């Protein structure tokens, strides 16, 4: 049995979105607008409006022409193009979120996510209300490490299918790339860099690998069973210092002074953090497995931070100070 009904179109071309939102609003008004009226009002050609109406029909919008009124209407009076149903405030929030997506700009997910948001928030663009904040609500650009699309796709496939990955990797302390065999658990994002978190079979332990320092990836046919405690978030002991594959739990106690006091107090660094006021600043104590990240955190505050516990961190801090003194004398 033949049918004249066309299969529904998967999406609307991005360049047509603003016009189609405009046409949707005009037709939904019940005024039976003609193609000529809509073309003049929008500033497009009549042929373009007719083409957009056909696109709307392709996504099964119930559009028909009324010869008596000489205009277009919806055969289902309450119909609206699906992306028009969201409230204005929700659409505005989503449109603003596009600025936040800038941190993903060098990853394969950026274009897809940005295009999807453009589609959803098209009604704002059609109303001319989408640009006031673009230079007023800003996420400053941070240094990023680009990710190759084939690397991303292979890793996400390994995650989805729980299959072992092999690759060559240049570690931070390595002179050359070395082979790795890893059970991939999660992709993690930290300050502009994507990492693979998983079980490294050579090291017999959990490790993190920067995607930009991988090469010659291979997705094996070998499956693995994802353990119950695979989640990176449960292995940091409730602290928030970024990505690091620490295993040992430490109890930290660090004194902060001067302008670093407000900087520390403004944020939640760990679930169990405790802040104590002192005569010249504060002391923060908390639990974490992220030793090296906490050490970087302390060093970043210069003379306005002093570690008190554990002894390992205190010794690290003193060694760094002594090395910097030596470098200063050699200058």
State mean pLDDT over 110-114.
Answer: 73
Q: What is the CATH architecture assignment of 14-84?
A: Orthogonal Bundle (1.10)
pLDDT band at 136 (very low <50, low <70, confident <90, very high): confident
Give the CATH fold of the 149-232 domain.
SH3 type barrels. (2.30.30)
- Token pair, residue 299, equals 């060093």
- Give the pLDDT of residue 85: 43
Rounded to two decimals, the pTM is 0.66
253-271 per-position pLDDT tens digit: 999 999 999 999 999 999 9
58-81 per-position pLDDT tens digit: 878 899 999 999 999 999 888 877
The answer for residues whose C-beta is within 8 angstroms of residue 247's C-beta and 6 or more apart is: 205, 206, 235, 289
Which SS3 state, helix, strand or coil, does residue 13 take? coil
State mean pLDDT over 20-39.
Answer: 92
Burial 293-325 (b: 16+ CB within 10 A, else e): bbbebbeebeebbebeeeeebbebbeeeeeeee
**16-20, 93-97, 196-200, 303-307: range with lowest mean pLDDT:** 93-97
Between residues 322 and 235, the one the model is more confident about: 322
Q: 132 in the Ramachandran plot: left (φ > 0), alpha (ψ -120 to 50) or beta?
A: alpha
Which SS3 state, helix, strand or coil, does residue 71 take? strand
Check if the beta carbon of residue 181 is closer than 8 Å to that of residue 201. yes
- Highest-pLDDT range among 139-143, 192-196, 276-280: 276-280
Rounded percentage of the chain residues whose pLDDT exceeds 90: 58
φ and ψ at 235, to 5 degrees?
-100, 5
User: Domains of the chain: which residue ranges?
Assistant: 14-84, 88-127, 149-232, 246-330
Tokens 């699906």 belong to residue: 82
Residue among 248, 269, 174 at smallest CA distance from 214: 174
87 pLDDT more than 60: no
274 pLDDT more than 70: yes
Check if the beta carbon of residue 205 is closer than 8 Å to that of residue 227. no
């Amino acid at each position: 049995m033949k049918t004249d009904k066309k299969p529904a179109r998967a999406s609307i071309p991005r360049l047509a979105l603003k016009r189609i939102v405009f046409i949707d609003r005009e037709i939904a008004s019940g005024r039976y607008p003609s193609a000529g009226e809509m073309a003049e009002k929008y500033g497009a050609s009549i042929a373009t409006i007719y083409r957009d109406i056909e696109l709307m029909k392709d996504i099964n919008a119930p559009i028909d022409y009324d010869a008596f009124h000489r205009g277009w209407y919806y055969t289902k009076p309450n119909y609206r193009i699906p992306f028009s149903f969201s409230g204005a405030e929700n659409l505005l929030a989503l449109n603003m979120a596009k600025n936040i997506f800038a941190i993903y700009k060098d990853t394969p997910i950026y274009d897809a996510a940005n295009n999807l948001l453009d589609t959803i928030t098209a009604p704002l663009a059609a109303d001319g209300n989408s640009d006031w904040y673009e230079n007023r609500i800003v996420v400053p650009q941070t240094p990023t490490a680009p990710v190759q699309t084939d690397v991303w796709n292979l890793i996400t496939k390994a995650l989805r299918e729980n299959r072992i990955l092999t690759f060559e990797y240049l570690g931070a302390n390595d002179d050359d790339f070395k082979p790795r065999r890893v059970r991939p658990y999660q992709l993690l994002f930290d300050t502009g860099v994507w990492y693979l978190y998983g079980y490294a079979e050579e090291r017999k332990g959990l490790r993190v690998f920067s995607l930009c320092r991988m090469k010659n990836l291979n997705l094996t046919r070998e499956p693995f069973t994802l353990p119950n405690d695979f989640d990176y978030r449960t292995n940091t002991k409730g602290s928030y210092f970024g990505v690091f594959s620490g295993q040992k739990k430490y109890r930290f106690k660090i004194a902060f002074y001067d302008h670093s006091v407000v900087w520390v107090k403004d944020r939640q660094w760990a679930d169990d953090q405790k802040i104590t006021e002192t005569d010249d600043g504060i002391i923060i104590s908390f639990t974490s497995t992220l030793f090296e990240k906490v050490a970087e955190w302390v060093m970043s505050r210069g003379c306005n931070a002093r570690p008190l516990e554990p002894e390992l961190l205190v010794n690290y801090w003193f060694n760094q100070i002594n090395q910097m003194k030596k470098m200063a004398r050699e200058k």
